[in-house]
A and B are shown apart, each in its own frame.
Chain A
Amino acid sequence: MTCLSGFRNFPKLWTSTPYFELVVPATFPVSFFLMVTRNQHRWFSVKTTSPPNSKSTNLLVAKARTLKKENDSDRQISSDHYFAAGAAKMRSYLNNNPQQRDHAMPRVRSTIELPTKPLNSEEWDKLKDDFNGKASFEEGVISQMVHSCSSVDVAKSLLAWVAAKNNGIVGYNLLVKYLYLCVFHKETSEVIDVYEIMKAKYKCLETGASSILIRGLIHSDRWREALLLLEDMKKVMIPSKRNYGDCIQGALFHQDVNMAWSLYQELIGHNLTPLLETLKAFFDFGQDINDDHYSNKLLDILLYLRNNQLYPGESFAHSIKTWFESIPGRQWKGQFTTVQKSGQCSSCGRALESIHLSLEEYEFLKEKIMRDVIDGGDQYKKTTPQELQRFENFVNSCPPFDIVIDGLNVAKMFPKRRESQTLLNVVSHLAQKNLQLLVLGRKHMLKPSSRWKEDEMEQVQKQAHCFFADNISKDDPFLLYATLNSGNHCKFITKDLMRDHKACLPDAHTQRLFFKWQQGHQLAIVKGSPRSKLTFQHTLSYDTVVQTTGDSWHIPYDEDQVQRSSYEVPTKWLCLQRKTQAPAPC
C-alpha cells in the first residue's frame, strides 16, 4: 500500500477549491496552460474570474443557492421513477423530520496561530516556546499549514529555521509536507528543487511522496521523470489510478499522445477503473487533433463507459459535447436533455435502448440467482431443501404469473392499518385487472391474530396464488426466482431495494445485469393515504447507459449538484446527433 494515512485528508491537489467551482459557471472553467519559453515556465490564465470583490461573490453564492433550491423543488415533482438519481435522498428527507438532521459536532482541534508571513529565527523560537501540543512543534505547524494551505514562503522559512538548528538537515516528513504545499500552489521550480534534494538524499521514496512528486513534475518540462517515478512505484506495487491519471495528463500536456494511450492501456490492464477526470483529459485534448485513430480511441472510451455502467460528470459531459462538435465535416450537434417516460429522447425523439435483458442474459441471470442467492453453497442458510423442493413444485404447477407480491413488505406499508387488510386491498385491486398474482409470505401470516384476520387472508388466497415460507426462511429469494421464472412480462411489488441480494452475486457484471432487470421489473407503491387509489412508481422502459446508433449518441450524466446513490441512475442526458441526417427540432 502506498498512500500515507497522513495524506488522506489532504484536499485534492491541483484542483481549484470547491469555492471556485461554486462561483465559476461550469461553461467557463478556469483553465491554465503552460507555455515553455527559454527553459522557463510561466502560468497564464486564459480567463480570470471577477476581482475578489466580496460583494459580487456573495451575490454569486446567493444566486447559486437559489438556483439549487429551484432545482430541488423541480426534482421533488419529477422524481418519478424509483431509481432516479437523488430519489433515495428525497425519500429519506421526506421520511425524517428535517429539523432533526444536521447536528454534526464541529471538530475541535488544538491549533496555533499560523503566521501569515515568513518569520525569522527568533520569531520561530518564540512561537515554539508558546506551543504545548503533543506532537513535535515543527510537525504540528507544518501539518496545520498543509490543512490551511499556507503560502510556500512561510513554510520555507520554517524549514530554513529547522535546518539552521539542525546542521542543515530537514526531516523527511517536513520535506514531504513542504512538497505538498509547493505542488498545491503550483510552484513548479520549487517542486523541482525539492525533487533534486530528495534524489540526492534518499535512494528511494515511498509512494506518498512519489505521488505528490508526479503531480508536481507533470507540469514542468521534466515531466518524463514522473514516468520514471511511476516505474519505481511499480516495483513495489500497482500504482493507483490517480498516479496513472496524473502521468496521462502530463503526457497529454506535452503532446505525447502515444505515451498517454499506452499508460491508459496499462491502467485498464491492471483492472483499475480510471478516474473520470483522466478520461475527460483525453476528450479535452482531442479537440485539437484531427486523427481518425485518436477519434476511434475516444469512441472506445465511450464504450468502456457503457460496458462498466459509468456515468460522466457534468463537466465531462460538456467536454464530450465539445469534442463531438469539434469534429470537422461531421457536423455533430449536442443537446442536454431528458428522456420521456415512453423512452424517447426529448430532444431528437429517438427511442432509447430497451431495459429488457436479452434472452441469454436473462437465462444467465436466472441461473445465477438460483445458484448464488437462493442456494449460495448452503441451502440451509436461507431456506431448506424440502422447502425449496416444495416451492419449485408449486411454481411449476401454476401458470406464469403477471405480478409477484412481497406480502409482508406490502402489508407493512401503513403502520397504522391492519396488515391483512392492506394486503387484501392491494391484491383485490390488482385482481380486478385480471392479472395472475402470486403472494409470497411466511406461515405466521396464516395464524389468526389481531394483525392477520383469518377471513381476509382467505380472501387473499382466493384471489391470488399464495406461497407461505417457513418463519425463519428468507422470502426475497423466492420472490426473485418466481418473477424470473415467470418470464419477462412478470413484475414484482416490493419497496425493498434488494441490495443484500445483489451483494450475493459473484461479480460486477452479474450485479449490473441484476440491477438492469430490477429497474425494469420492480414496482414500488407510491405511499399515499391508505384510502387513496393505489398508484405505482412506473418502471423504466429504457436503459440508462451510454448508447449509440452510429449516427447518434445518448450519454447519461451526473449533475454536479445532485447526490446519486449507487443504486440510482442519472436522469439527465446528453443527446448527440449528426446534423446532416436528422434535422432535430430544438
Chain B
Amino acid sequence: MNVTVRFLRPFARLMVSFTPHGKRRNLYSTVLQRYMSSKAPSLSCHNKESISPPKQLELDGWKTTMKSSIQEDGVSVVSDKDEDALAATREMIEMRRLLGSEVPEHITEEELKTLMECPSKSAQRKYLKYLYGKEKLKKAKQIKKEKKAEAREEAKKAKLLEITTSKEQQEFMFLRLWDRQINIAMGWKGVQAMQFGQPLVFDMDYENYMKPFELRNAVSQLLESEGWNRRDVDPFHIYFCNLKINSAYQKELVKRYSGKWDKLLLTATEKSPIDLFPKDSIIYLTADSPNIMTTFKHDKIYIIGSFVDKNTQVGTSLAKAKRLNLATERLPLDKYLQWDLGSKNLTLDQMIRILLSMKNTGSWEEALKFVPRRKHTGYLEISQHSKEVFSKLKKTKTRSFPKGSLNVQTWKR
C-alpha cells in the first residue's frame, strides 16, 4: 500500500500535463488538488487506519477485506480434459452472469455441449442469449401460473360461499361441452375437405436449406397454418408433399403433434406435387416470381414452400419452380399496400389465412389484412393507385423499369 501512494503522485502530475481537453482538465486538476490537500494522510499511510480523517472514506480498506474473504469452495480436481473444459465453460458463464451479461442461470449438460459445438464466439453469445431469454420467459410464466392458481383458489372459496347461500336450480338447454362439439364439427368439415376440398400443397423439399432452428420455426408455422385451416368455414385439403419418412421434418412434426399425427385430416406424402396433380394446374407461390397473382382461382393447385429462410438464400423456391417448369405467382402486395419495411416473404400461417380469405371473399383488401401491420403503412386507395401507375408510366418513359420486375444491378440514381 505504501508503494501505491508513493507511486500515484508523480503519475497524477504527469496526467495533468497530458490533458489539454477542457472538460477533463478540470477533473484532473481537482484530482491534483485533492492530492495536494490530502498530502498529510497519504504520506503517513503506515498507520492510516487510525489517523484517517473522520469524514473521509477509507479508500483502500476494502481491499484487505476482499482479499481475506474466503474463496468460493468447490474446486474440483478433474483429470479428464473434456470434463475440464466443460467445467471451465460453466464457471465462465457464471462469472459472466455476475458481470450482468445475458447468460442463463442454470445450464444443462446438453446445452453446455451444444454451446461448445458453436463454431464461433458470436454463435456462442447468441446461443447463450437465447437460453437466457428462454429461462426468463419460463420464470415469468411460472410466476404467472402461481398467481393464477392463487386467484383460482380465492374464486373457489367465494363460489363455495355463493353455492351455500343460493341453492336455486337453473335450467339449461346444453351441457357445457363446447370444445368437444367444436372439435367434432371441425373434424366433419375436415373429412369433407379431404373428399371435396381444393388442394393446397406445402412443399417440404427445403430441409437441406434450413438450419435446425429454422426448421423448428417452419414446423411451428405449419402447425399454426393447419390450425387456421381447420377452423375455416371451407377448409383446404392440405397436402404435405416431399415429406420424407424419418427426415428431420417428419420427426419434428410427429414430435409436435405427438399422438395426433396419425389422425390429422390432411395428406402427407413422400411424392412430389407434380406426381399428384397435372402440371398445368399447379401454381407455385413465391415472392421472387415475376408474375403477380391477380385473382384466386378455384381450379388451381397452389403450392407454398414450407421454408423459413433467415439466411437470405434468394431465389431458392423460384429456382425449384423453374426446374420443374411450373407456373409461379406472387401476392400483389405492392399493388394494394404501401410497403414500408421487412421482406415480402410472409410466414406460412399468414399465407394460408390470406388464401383462405381470398377463397371465401375474393377481395384482396380483406385478405391482405393478415399482412403484419408493421410491414406496411396502409392500403393504397384505388384512385391513388391508378394515379401512381400513371406517374410511374410517366417516369418510366424516361427512367427505368418498375423495380421488382427486373433484377438489374443498376445504379438507380
Binding site for B on A (CB under 8 A): 1-6, 17, 19, 23, 30, 39-43, 45, 48-54, 57, 95, 116-122, 139, 149-151, 153, 156-157, 159-164, 167-173, 176, 185-190, 193, 196-197, 200-209, 235-237, 378, 380-382, 384, 408-409, 412, 415-418, 442, 444, 450-451, 471-472, 474-476, 495-496, 500
Contact = CB atoms under 8 A, between A and B. Distances in A.
A71 B408 CA distance: 36
A200 B17 contact: no
Nearest to B16: A52
A120 B57 contact: yes
Contacts of A495: 410-411
A442 B95 contact: no
A196 B22 contact: no
Given A153-B59, A170-B62, A201-B69, A52 B4 contact: no
Given A204-B88, A416-B398, A42 B25 contact: no
Of the candidates B20, B58, B322, the one having the most CB atoms from chain A within 10 angstroms of its own CB is: B20
A17 B21 CA distance: 10
A113 B7 CA distance: 30
B100 interface: yes
Contacts of B33: 117
A44 to B, nearest CB: 8
- Listed residue (B6, B89, B99, B322) with the most chain A CB atoms within 10 angstroms of its CB: B99
B65 interface: yes
B157 interface: no
In this complex, the member of A19, A119, A163, A205 whose beta carbon has the largest number of chain B beta carbons within 10 angstroms is A163
B24 interface: yes
Interface string B84-103: 11001101100110111110
A209 B318 CA distance: 50
B217 interface: no
B393 to A, nearest CB: 9
From A49, A150, A200, residue with most partner B Cβ within 10 Å: A200
A202 B3 contact: no
Interface stretch (B171-179, B194-202, B399-407): B399-407
A408 B316 CA distance: 24
A43 B7 CA distance: 10
B387 interface: no
A203 B407 CA distance: 58
Given A161-B57, A495-B411, A40 B3 contact: yes
Instruction: Place the interface of chain B in its size category.
Output: 35 or more
A1 to B, nearest CB: 3
Interface in B114-129: 120-125, 128
B322 A202 contact: no
B31 interface: yes
B20 A42 contact: no
Nearest to B405: A471
A114 to B, nearest CB: 9
A3 B121 contact: yes
Contacts of B397: 450-451
Contact of B65 (A116, A169, A381): A169
A149 B24 contact: yes
B95 to A, nearest CB: 4
Nearest to B124: A1
Given A121-B57, A163-B65, A237-B121, A173 B409 contact: no
A9 to B, nearest CB: 13
B289 to A, nearest CB: 9
A476 B409 contact: yes
B10 interface: yes
B410 A42 contact: no
Contacts of B374: none
Nearest to B32: A151
Contact of A1 (B59, B121, B315): B121
Given A42-B7, A200-B66, A53 B20 contact: yes
Contact of B125 (A1, A42, A43): A1
Contacts of B213: none
B255 to A, nearest CB: 30
Nearest to B396: A451
Contacts of A119: 57
A1 B122 contact: yes
B52 to A, nearest CB: 11
A236 B89 contact: yes
A514 to B, nearest CB: 16
Given A118-B57, A151-B28, A160 B4 contact: no
B413 A118 contact: no
